[in-house]
Amino acid sequence: MPHADSSSPAWPVLDYPGWRDSLQTLHLWTQIVGKVRLSLSPWLNHGWQVPLYVGARGLGTSAIHAGGGMVDIEFDFVDHRLVIRSSDGPDRGFALEPMSVAAFYGRLMDELKAAGFEVAINTLPNELPSPIRFPVDEVHASYDAEAVHRFWRALLQADRVFKVFRTGFLGKCSPVHFFWGSFDLAVTRFSGRRAPVHPGGFPGLPDPVTREAYSHEVSSAGFWPGNEAYPHAAFFSYGYPTPPDFGKAAVGPSAAFWSDALGEWMLPYEAVRTAADPDAALLEFLSSTYRAASQLAGWDSGLECGMGVPRRPRAVHG
């Protein structure tokens, strides 16, 4: 399959209605791959053993220890292949093209078995309405290579800016990682204080998982391609527990808005993409929402520091 057009803009157009079917199929494919990582990895605080990572070719698991060796699985959105690399044999995989979730599941499990890895996963999708088990899902079978490539290019930009934003914090902070359950890229800062026990109740997400994820106070931000309820790509920011008057805080840029339904701040992706300086617009949103959440919740301001720059150590004063 030919490579996607390398002349596409840094912040590509994302049209949710135009790639809805492919998005829904890809979401389920990433859940299958993510659940392989989940099945083979010891639990890490806040589910950090679960996500995928944005890479130079697409989305991948990173290296997973299994059976005395290592395996990693990558969605290559340049050549449009599912690639399985192991420490004990040649690369394996297959083309990413229109196919049902059931077919993708069967091919992935066959390839893993052929590579010497026996893996059993929970085949019920998470965090989705009316889920269909992977081995019998013939409903979702779309793959628009150009649209998927654009989504990955948007992820590249969000990942880059999120990683700059992450450097401005000295406290506990998550990696920038892609959660396949909610299908979003996220980075989360922690105050270090315990949070009230989360009530749970998220559809398709076990309450013990939610409560462990939100065991401590957080300010979290992310990027999400949209769904049927909100059919637009957007950036978001929220706190748990939600600080008092967080929805009334001074947040920028001007396109940002508070969603009562979601309980978080939103910034349309299109507003960032079309801004005179997209990086500055996104950093303003990330910084102003964090500042509002942390100040309203009384976080220690000593957790903050200047943004990092290449080859320059952070200045430490005695």
Does pLDDT of 6 surpass 70?
Answer: no
Contact 7, 151 (CB under 8 A): no
Does pLDDT of 5 surpass 50?
Answer: no
Domain boundary assignment for the chain: 17-143, 146-301
Q: How far apart are CA 76 and CA 292, in angstroms?
A: 38
Does pLDDT of 58 surpass 90?
Answer: yes
Does pLDDT of 2 surpass 50?
Answer: no
pLDDT band at 315 (very low <50, low <70, confident <90, very high): confident
pLDDT band at 9 (very low <50, low <70, confident <90, very high): confident
Encoded tokens for 231:
């059919």
Return the pLDDT at 92: 97
* 175-213 pLDDT, tens digit each: 999 999 999 999 999 999 999 999 999 999 999 999 999
CA atoms within 13 A on the CB side of 9: 7
pLDDT band at 316 (very low <50, low <70, confident <90, very high): confident
* 242-252 pLDDT, tens digit each: 999 999 999 99
Does pLDDT of 7 surpass 50?
Answer: no
Triad 150, 78, 123: Cα angle to 5°: 85
Triad 86, 101, 155: Cα angle to 5°: 65
- Phi, psi angles (nearest 5°) of residue 22: -65, -40
Mean pLDDT of the chain: 95
Distances 27 to 30, 45, 266 between C-alpha atoms, Å: 5, 24, 21
Does pLDDT of 167 surpass 60?
Answer: yes
* 267-314 pLDDT, tens digit each: 999 999 999 999 999 999 999 999 999 999 999 999 999 999 999 999
- Select from 129, 122, 124 the least CA-distant residue to 203: 129
Per cent of the chain over pLDDT 70 is 97
0.75 exceeded by pTM? yes
* 76-133 pLDDT, tens digit each: 999 999 999 999 999 999 999 999 999 999 999 999 999 999 899 999 999 999 999 9
Give the residues across from 76 on adjacent strands: 58, 81
Return the pLDDT at 8: 43
